[in-house]
Amino acid sequence: MNIFNRVVMVVLLLLALAASVVFTIIPVRLLDVVSDAITLLAQSVQVARLVFVLIGIGFILLWFLLLVLELWRPPRRTVRVEKVSGGQAEMTVEAIAQRVVYRVDQLADVVNVKPRIRAGRGGVDIDLDLETTPDIDVPTKTEEVCAVVKDVIEERMGLRLRRIRVKVRHAPYAEG
DSSP character string of 137-155: -HHHHHHHHHHHHHIIIII
Rounded CA gap, 60 and 30, in Å? 16
Tell me if the pTM is above 0.75: no
Amino acid at 94: E
Strand, helix or coil at 89? coil
At residue 40 the predicted structure's pLDDT band, cuts being 50, 70 and 90, is low
Q: Which alpha helices (DSSP H) does 72-130 contain, by range?
A: 93-105
* Predicted pLDDT of residue 24: 81
Q: Which of 170, 172, 173 is nearest to 130 (CA)?
A: 170
Assigned CATH topology for domain 78-170: Alpha-Beta Plaits (3.30.70)
Q: Give the model confidence (pLDDT) of 121-163 as tens digits.
A: 778 999 999 999 888 899 999 999 999 999 999 888 888 889 9
* Predicted pLDDT of residue 168: 92
Question: Rounded mean pLDDT of 40-64?
Answer: 77
Q: Which of 141, 143, 133 is nearest to 169 (CA)?
A: 133
Question: Rounded mean pLDDT of 38-50?
Answer: 66
Rounded CA gap, 59 and 41, in Å? 20
List the domain boundaries for the chain: 2-71, 78-170
Q: Give the model confidence (pLDDT) of 94-117 as tens digits.
A: 999 999 999 999 998 899 999 999
Q: Which residues contact 171 (CB under 8 A, 6 or more apart)?
A: 111, 112, 131, 132, 133, 134
Q: Which of 13-27, 40-54, 60-74, 147-161 has the highest mean pLDDT?
A: 147-161
Question: Rounded mean pLDDT of 58-82?
Answer: 80
Q: Which of 109, 166, 102 is nearest to 132 (CA)?
A: 109
Rounded CA gap, 99 and 122, in Å? 20
* Predicted pLDDT of residue 45: 65
% of the chain with per-residue pLDDT over 70: 85
User: Residue 114 belongs to what H/E stretch?
Assistant: strand 110-120
What average pLDDT does the chain have? 83
